[in-house]
Amino acid sequence: MAGPPNLIPKHFRERIRRCRIVCLAIFIGGWLLFGLLFLRHLGDQLFLPWEVFSLFGFVLIAIWPRIEFRKLRRHLEENDFRLCLDCGYILCGLPNTHACPECGKTYDIGHIRDSWQYWIMHRRLPNDAV
C-alpha cells in the first residue's frame, strides 16, 4: 500500500525544513540572549522591546518560506522546469527519458515539466507525479 501523495517536492520540502530550523534557532537564541542581557537590568521597562523582538521572530518564520518559494520558482524558470522531482538535480542537456544522475530515479522530461508547472500554480504536486 502506497502512502499519501507528496504535496511538496522533496527538494523544496528539505529547503523549507532547514529555513524553519534556522528561524527557530535565531528566535530562541535571541530570546535567551535578550533575556540574559537585559532582563536583570531593565525590570518592568522590558515590555516594548520584548514585544518587538517577538513580532520580528514571528514575521521571519512566516516570510522566509515565501522567499524560498520565489527563489525556487525563479530557479525552475531559468532551467525550463527541468529539475528532478526527488533531488532537485538540473536535468538540462540530458535525454528526454532517462535516469537522474544524482538520485537514479527514472524520469520523463514532459512529465517532470508538467508536474513542476502544476506545482507552481497549485502549490502541490498532481497525484500522478509520485
115 CB-near residues (< 8 Å, 6+ apart)? 85, 125, 126, 129
Can you point out the beta strands (E) in 53-123? 97-99, 106-108
Distance of CA 59 to the CA centre of its chain: 16
The arithmetic mean of pLDDT across residues 45-57, rounded, is: 64
Q: Which residue has the higher pLDDT, 41 or 59?
A: 59
pLDDT higher than 70, residue 118: yes
pLDDT higher than 60, residue 42: no
Decide: residue 44, CB within 10 A, 0-12 exposed, 13-18 middle, 19+ buried.
Answer: exposed
Please tell me the distance from the alpha carbon of residue 68 to that of residue 84, in angstroms, as a whole number: 17
pLDDT 10s digits, 76-113: 899 999 988 888 889 988 899 989 998 888 989 998 88
74 CB-near residues (< 8 Å, 6+ apart)? none
Low-confidence winner among 44-48, 60-64, 74-78 (lowest mean pLDDT): 44-48
Q: What pLDDT does residue 53 have?
A: 67
pLDDT higher than 60, residue 47: no
The domain segmentation of the chain, as residue ranges, is 10-129
pLDDT higher than 60, residue 4: no
Q: What pLDDT does residue 78 have?
A: 92
